[in-house]
A and B are shown apart, each in its own frame.
Chain A
Amino acid sequence: MTHDIHIRIPHVTRVEGHGNIVLDVKSGKIEELRLEIVESPRFFEVMLKGRPITEVPGITSRICGICAISHTCASLRACEATLGITPSAETIILRKVLLNAEILQSHILHLGLLVLPDFFGKGSVIELAKTEPEAVQAALRLKAAANEIAALFTGRHVHPIGMAIGGFKAWPEKKVFSKARAVLEGTQKDLDAMVSVFKTLTPPPLERATNYVSLTADKEYALYDGVIKRSIGGITKVADYKDVINEEVVRYSTAKQSKSNGKSIMVGALSRLNNNFPLISGEAKDAAKKLGMAEPSIKPFDNNTAQLIECVHTVYDSLKLLERDIPDGGPPARATNKAGRGVGAVEAPRGTLYHEYETDKDGIVVSANCIIPTAQNLANIERDIEAIVPSIIKEPQEKIALTLEMLVRAYDPCISCSTHFLDVKLIGGGNG
């Protein structure tokens, strides 16, 4: 056996956006390995230039349909940092509930509809529904519940309505809060069912320690608020994100790759859990125990498990946040004509998301920058592929391709997000 492999997986399916995997192995040695991002660029930085800052959260929400609330929250935080506005505690509670709902809906979409079919040898959730109807139904009900929470407060999940700088344009009526509590309480059985299903799965074995990066906070499991924590490198203020995340141009991809001190990093559920496990809710800790993940993990495939643990957390965290009806947090800010510069960061489902804006004295955007979680993970995914190839090299080509796809999918890449603000360098005019 010479162990020559030539794998081309064009347009990896069941991920969000367009990406290809390229792997060439000659005599057992990796000659070429690329995760190519081939999504078309949309030039959001250009779109934002010249717009009033009040329009910015609504426009940047359109970067990604799956993480629309995360983009809106990061954008609002950056706008407020730019203008020197502090939203009310009530406004922040509602934003946290919405971010929780988005993380739940995104994780469940990923786990139930995109990941689970692999473990049961199915091509899609439609096929999976025929053999595992209970698991699929549970996932769909959880996803519907998450969407309902978002819809209760902002009309819909895809492009939330009324989230504005300084406050909400319309404060929900009292009955919305009791309805939201009922929806959240109704998810327990389906969360248990998902935990039972994932407990039985055996992902491909792969261990590779890396630099786990996420927000972190003293008193809560950091999602909406916090400072940047690197498992190797310590704590950094959000405003200094450029000291931590260095972007690198990659010749074959329309997305730039992020590194820290020249080395790949990982962001997302596994990093958050590794960095902040003691602060996750008790119910989520119980789920972690059942799933065998109560300790920090260096297995990339555990990102799936970490997402499920976070699903449990988001539900119980929101129940706590909504323990009582939240009184009106006040209207959005009116005075937004101010020169400034500011950075906002939140934990999007796939990892830390940064927005940065600069305005002139009339509150018109002069420049904008966003760093998207998937771009931060790309280099790390390639390092993981390098690490897993030797152990699967003797498998049939088809099996290798499936394992690589599963590995890429475990990171839950959101490719349509990852290119919109990123630098690119192409070889010979080819776009991959």
Chain B
Amino acid sequence: MSVRPKIGVFSFSSCEGCQLQILNLEREIPAIAGLVELVNFREAMNKISDDYAIAFVEGSITREKEVAEVEAIRKQAKILVSLGACAHLGGVNSLKNPKPKEEWLKTVYKTTDVFTDTFETKRVSDVVKVDYDIPGCPIDKFEFVRTVFALLAGVAPRLPDKPVCAECRVKPNPCLVEDNELCLGSITRAGCGAICPTYGEECVACRGVLKDANIKGLTKILNDRGHSKTAINGKLELFNLLAKIEV
């Protein structure tokens, strides 16, 4: 194919860190730029076009106007890929959801008659069909590159189907659960290279919980080591509140 596919990168409620991960591909950007045509990336360019085939969507959907915008993106794009935990899972944005809207507005704005169009945090897939996900908070920038290459080759991008523990073992990192930390690596989708445990931090499941994860097994081990169900649920909900997984 001689025509380079046109790509758009879009941002909704988020820290924009996943877009930044794309800009952080300093060494790879020139090669990628030769293969695709970036036509809409507001953070980096000023001539933007709505003629694109592949859309990467960052951020959660939290306002009426964002619903209309993401629907328009879905209508235009042949392929829509969620970019990062806010888009994929709802991420930390969902932590406001269990509290009433009145409380959000009063806490931040001291009144409830502003931002009447804001609502509970939604995943992009709650609003439009999402073809593929690039998980993580933030995304792994090389997973973005692999996804782009797969799409260019006409192949469905695939995410690893193993837990973070598998990647932690090969490092090899000392096991944080054995160290009495509340680590969720054994139920979380790999692909991050176990980067958090490698730098001493417990896995917080920002890439989502695996479908066939042994949640009961992990809960028992963590309970035996003195972590309460409340503490485990608290950690799980940091990124996965909308998945409604409870131990």
Which residues from chain A sit less than 8 Å from chain B, CB to CB?
11, 13-17, 40-43, 45-47, 49, 51-52, 55, 58-59, 62-66, 68, 109, 113-114, 117, 123-126, 129, 140-141, 143-144, 147, 154-159, 161-162, 164, 168-170, 254, 416, 421-426, 429, 431
Q: Given the interface contacts A14-B44, A43-B96, A429-B116, does A63 sit within 8 Å of B200 by beta carbon?
A: no
Q: List 24 A-B contacts (CB under 8 A).
A: A15-B43, A16-B16, A41-B108, A41-B118, A43-B107, A43-B108, A45-B107, A46-B104, A52-B234, A66-B20, A68-B15, A109-B23, A140-B29, A144-B24, A155-B196, A158-B138, A159-B17, A161-B199, A161-B200, A254-B115, A416-B11, A416-B16, A426-B114, A431-B65
A162 is contacted by which of B107, B137, B201, B238 (Cβ under 8 Å)?
B201
Q: Are B26 and A140 in contact (CB under 8 A)?
A: yes
B66 is contacted by which of A40, A63, A421 (Cβ under 8 Å)?
A40
B105 → A minimal CB distance (Å) = 8
Q: Are A17 and B201 in contact (CB under 8 A)?
A: no
Q: Which chain B residues border A143 with CB–CB below 8 Å?
A: 24, 26
The residue on A at minimum CB distance from B37 is A126
Q: Are A159 and B45 in contact (CB under 8 A)?
A: no
Query: In the complex the two chains form, what is the Cα distance from A277 to B63 in whole Å?
Result: 44
**New A-B contacts (5) at CB < 8 Å, excluding given A41-B115, A170-B199:** A14-B45, A68-B15, A114-B44, A143-B26, A416-B14
Mostly, the B contact residues are: mixed
B115 → A minimal CB distance (Å) = 6
Query: In the complex the two chains form, what is the Cα distance from A370 to B62 in whole Å?
Result: 21
Query: In the complex the two chains form, what is the Cα distance from A426 to B63 in whole Å?
Result: 15
Query: In the complex the two chains form, what is the Cα distance from A162 to B108 in whole Å?
Result: 29
B18 within 8 A of A: yes
Contact with A along B219-232 (1 / 0, CB 8 A): 00000000000000
Q: Are A423 and B14 in contact (CB under 8 A)?
A: no
Query: In the complex the two chains form, what is the Cα distance from A129 to B32 in whole Å?
Result: 14
Query: In the complex the two chains form, what is the Cα distance from A411 to B57 in whole Å?
Result: 27
Q: Are B45 and A65 in contact (CB under 8 A)?
A: no
Query: In the complex the two chains form, what is the Cα distance from A45 to B92 in whole Å?
Result: 12
Q: Are A65 and B38 in contact (CB under 8 A)?
A: no
Q: Which chain A residues border B4 with CB–CB below 8 Å?
A: none
The residue on B at minimum CB distance from A157 is B24
A168 is contacted by which of B44, B99, B118, B200 (Cβ under 8 Å)?
B200
Q: Given the interface contacts A68-B15, A162-B200, A431-B65, does A125 sit within 8 Å of B43 by beta carbon?
A: no
Q: Which chain B residues border A129 with CB–CB below 8 Å?
A: 30
Most A Cβ at <10 Å: residue of B91, B96, B118: B96
B25 → A minimal CB distance (Å) = 9
Q: Are A431 and B117 in contact (CB under 8 A)?
A: yes
B141 → A minimal CB distance (Å) = 9
Q: Are A11 and B42 in contact (CB under 8 A)?
A: yes
The residue on A at minimum CB distance from B181 is A169
Q: Are B200 and A123 in contact (CB under 8 A)?
A: no
Q: Are B201 and A421 in contact (CB under 8 A)?
A: no
Q: Which chain B residues border A42 with CB–CB below 8 Å?
A: 13, 62, 93, 96
Q: Which chain A residues border B117 with CB–CB below 8 Å?
A: 431
Q: Are B92 and A156 in contact (CB under 8 A)?
A: no
A427 → B minimal CB distance (Å) = 11
Closest CB pairs A-B (n = 8)? A65-B17, A170-B200, A169-B200, A124-B45, A47-B95, A161-B199, A13-B46, A144-B26
Q: Which chain A residues border B114 with CB–CB below 8 Å?
A: 424-426
Q: Are A423 and B110 in contact (CB under 8 A)?
A: yes
Query: In the complex the two chains form, what is the Cα distance from A330 to B238 in whole Å?
Result: 27
Query: In the complex the two chains form, what is the Cα distance from A416 to B103 in whole Å?
Result: 22
Which residues from chain B sit less than 8 Å from chain A, CB to CB?
11-21, 23-24, 26-27, 29-30, 33, 38, 42-48, 62-63, 65-66, 91-93, 95-96, 99, 103-104, 107-110, 114-118, 137-138, 195-196, 198-201, 204, 234, 238
Q: Given the interface contacts A158-B21, A426-B114, does A124 sit within 8 Å of B16 by beta carbon?
A: no
Query: In the complex the two chains form, what is the Cα distance from A431 to B65 in whole Å?
Result: 10
Q: Which chain B residues border A254 with CB–CB below 8 Å?
A: 115
Q: Which chain A residues border B138 with CB–CB below 8 Å?
A: 65, 156, 158-159
Q: Are B45 and A58 in contact (CB under 8 A)?
A: no
Q: Are B195 and A161 in contact (CB under 8 A)?
A: yes
Q: Are B24 and A161 in contact (CB under 8 A)?
A: no
Query: In the complex the two chains form, what is the Cα distance from A15 to B41 in whole Å?
Result: 11
Q: Which chain B residues border A147 with CB–CB below 8 Å?
A: 24, 26
B201 is contacted by which of A13, A65, A113, A161 (Cβ under 8 Å)?
A161
A252 → B minimal CB distance (Å) = 12
Q: Given the interface contacts A58-B204, A109-B23, does A46 sit within 8 Å of B96 by beta carbon?
A: yes
B41 → A minimal CB distance (Å) = 8
Query: In the complex the two chains form, what is the Cα distance from A385 to B24 in whole Å?
Result: 32
Query: In the complex the two chains form, what is the Cα distance from A109 to B45 in whole Å?
Result: 13
A46 is contacted by which of B42, B91, B108, B234 (Cβ under 8 Å)?
B108
Q: Which chain A residues border B103 with CB–CB below 8 Å?
A: 46
Q: Which chain B residues border A55 with CB–CB below 8 Å?
A: 234, 238
Q: Which chain B residues border A424 with CB–CB below 8 Å?
A: 109, 114-115
Q: Which chain B residues border A41 with CB–CB below 8 Å?
A: 62, 108, 115, 118
The residue on A at minimum CB distance from B115 is A41
Q: Which chain A residues border B200 with CB–CB below 8 Å?
A: 161-162, 168-170
Q: Which chain B residues border A65 with CB–CB below 8 Å?
A: 14-21, 138
Q: Which chain B residues border A158 with CB–CB below 8 Å?
A: 17-18, 20-21, 24, 138
Q: Given the interface contacts A62-B92, A168-B200, A423-B110, does A124 sit within 8 Å of B46 by beta carbon?
A: yes
B82 → A minimal CB distance (Å) = 16
Q: Are B62 and A40 in contact (CB under 8 A)?
A: yes
Query: In the complex the two chains form, what is the Cα distance from A302 to B42 in whole Å?
Result: 25
Query: In the complex the two chains form, what is the Cα distance from A342 to B48 in whole Å?
Result: 44
B183 → A minimal CB distance (Å) = 12
Most B Cβ at <10 Å: residue of A43, A113, A416, A429: A43
Q: Which chain B residues border A431 with CB–CB below 8 Å?
A: 65, 115, 117
Q: Are A45 and B195 in contact (CB under 8 A)?
A: no
Q: Are B199 and A162 in contact (CB under 8 A)?
A: yes
The residue on B at minimum CB distance from A168 is B200
A11 → B minimal CB distance (Å) = 6
Query: In the complex the two chains form, what is the Cα distance from A109 to B176 in whole Å?
Result: 36
B44 → A minimal CB distance (Å) = 6
